[in-house]
Structure formats: C-alpha cells, structure tokens
Amino acid sequence: GYVLHELPNSITKSTKAFFEPALDYVVVKMPRWDLKKFRMVKRKLGSSMKSVGEVMSIGRKFEEALQKALRMLDIGVNGITANQNDIIFDDLESALKEPTEERIFAVAQALKSGYSIDHIHNLTHINKWFLHKINNIINTEKRIKEVFIKTIDKDLLKSAKQLGFSDKQIALILKCSEDEVYKLRYKYEIKPKVQHIDTLAAEFPAKTNYLYLTYSCDDDDFDFNYNKSVVILGSGPYRIGSSVEFDWCCVITGQTLRKEGYKTVMINCNPETVSTDYDESDALFFEEITLETVREIYNKIHPLGVVISMGGQTPNNLAVKLYEAGIYILGTSPKDID
C-alpha cells in the first residue's frame, strides 16, 4: 500500500494527504425536522435521531453560516430573525429550557426581550460563545430598524450582509422590496465573492471547484472562464415528500450535459447527496437555493441557462421569480408553469 505522504489530495491537487489542513471558513450543519407532520410526536430533542434530512452552510463568520443554514432548511424562515411570521413563544422560559426544533428562535426572542447572555445560558446551557454570536445578529437588526432604505449607509448594509442577512430579511426590516435592497447593494458595490473550499487557507495554490459565497472577502477566488456552461439547481435537504430521487435526476442531468460538452455548475446545500460530491460537476456551489443566491451566481458565470425542473419543488418554486429577474430557464417556460 501507500503511505500518506505518497497520496495526492484529490481536492487541492497540490498537496499530499499527509498535510495539516488550514481553514479560513466556518461550516454549520443543521438538521431538517418535520415533527409537525406526525401526530402525538414528542418534540423534545435528545439522543434519539428525529431529523429526516440536513443542510450544510459555509461562510467566513459563524453568524453568516448560521443564517444561511436556517434559510437552506426551507421551512419558511429568512434567518434567525426578521421573518414574515416570527415564531413567538408565550412561555419563553419553558421554550428556552426544553430543547426542541424551534428553540433557536426562542433564544432570539429572549435576546430581543432583554434577557442577559448569562440568564439564557443558565436556562439553555448553550455555550456563551454561540449566544454572543446570535446577539450580534439581533443587535444589527436593531441598528437597521433605526434607518430607512433611503438613509441606510454602505457600512451598515455591508455589515448586515457579512452577518448573513439576506436581501429579503433587510427588506422586511426596512419595509421595502427585496429588489430595492438588491439595487442599493449594487449601487454601493456590495457583492458576494466566490471562495474555494481547499483546506489550505490560500497558503498554497489549489485547483478546486468546491465553492461558496461570502461578503467577508475582497476578491473572487475562482476563474469564471466557463464558456458553454449550464447551472443546475439541486433539491435542497431531504424531507418528507422529497428525497434522493430528485438528486438522482440532477446528477444524471449533469453527467449528460458533460458528455455533450457543456460545463456544469451545481447549486445545492445537502451534504448527504451525490450532487454535492465535488467531482460530479465542473463547479459546485455549496449554497442556498434562493432567488438572491442564484441571481448572484448567474451574474458571475453568465451561463447558457438554468435547469430548475430536476430538483423537485424547491427550485420549481423559484421559476417565476428567476424568470422575472431576467434569468434564462432551460426547459418549460415559467410562463407556462401553473
């Protein structure tokens, strides 16, 4: 057999397996629970597995990765706060004491209500480091509430984006449209940058197609010379009613396109799938499947079009919004989708 220093690292292609990784990013893995679909189920979480799927988010800051992960779950929230229908707990202390799939929102409500970090820690036993990070998000929301879309400055808007606030979240706080926030970002030149997952933290050159978006970098770390490319939207997390069958469709679509000479760009956030294997596509964006993220990737790569029909309901729900944003959809026109 081979020893570690003889084996090449298949991700970086410039180092050997006998190499201590250097990481310049944060990863959050979060379970997808569908407990409300079962009668008489106990919602208290413990050592017994109750999730039906999971997501994985990547960012330069924990706050950024956390809010991304919550959106990736596709449970109708924009992040830990600033949602259309914020989850409100009547008995807040009980909600903090008992671990459930919604307790993270109870922590956010407690911080908004003036609970101290120490008090929340005593009730939840959650490490204070995480509570301080969540508090950073809540404090930024308070700062945004003090301004309007016409008065918010570049520094505050960029700071919010670096903490994982989506355009939709910011729009809800400022009581304006998501498109207004998008246009203001571009006016201020606040755009996400593409970074590699290379385990090297830029210490050595690396050839990797494992990518994510972040607002905490100044430059892109990827060559966008992708002539004749096609973007495929994945299915997101496994859940009741959506599982591996949609991922199979995405993978076969990518393989067929590559055989026909096209470059394939996969966007997905489920670490359990084959589609998120870095060698299944020419570029893998481990990202959320939302209008904002798809539009940013589309603007950078300028593909021939986007395939939404293989990933199930999650990408199909974006059809009309993507079409209205000027993104070319391959296959059935969104105008004909009821």
Judge whether residue 205 has pLDDT over 70: no
**303-331 average pLDDT score:** 96
Q: Burial level of 156, CB count in 10 A (0-12/13-18/19+)?
A: middle
Per-residue CA distances from 250 to 14, 189, 243 (Å): 30, 33, 12
pLDDT tens per residue across span 150-164:
999 999 999 999 999
* The pLDDT value given to residue 121: 98
* The pLDDT value given to residue 266: 98
For residue 265 the two structure tokens come to: 């760009």
Judge whether residue 338 has pLDDT over 70: no
Per-residue CA distances from 164 to 12, 213, 242, 287 (Å): 27, 11, 26, 12
**280-309 average pLDDT score:** 96
The CATH number that domain 26-187 falls under is: 1.10.1030.10
List Cβ neighbours of 139 (8 Å cut-off, separation of 6 or more): none
**72-84 average pLDDT score:** 94
The CATH number that domain 223-336 falls under is: 3.40.50.20
Closest-CA residue to 288 (of 220, 228, 338, 237):
237
**28-45 average pLDDT score:** 90
Judge whether residue 206 has pLDDT over 80: no
**For helices 178-187 and 154-162, angle between their N-to-C axes, nearest 10 degrees:** 110
Judge whether residue 167 has pLDDT over 90: yes
* C-alpha span between 319 and 312 (Å, rounded): 12
* The pLDDT value given to residue 147: 98
**112-127 average pLDDT score:** 98
Domain spans, the chain: 26-187, 223-336
pTM of the model: 0.93
**324-330 average pLDDT score:** 96
The proportion of the chain whose per-residue pLDDT surpasses 90, expressed as a percent, equals 79
* C-alpha span between 308 and 273 (Å, rounded): 17
* The pLDDT value given to residue 63: 99
**282-297 average pLDDT score:** 97
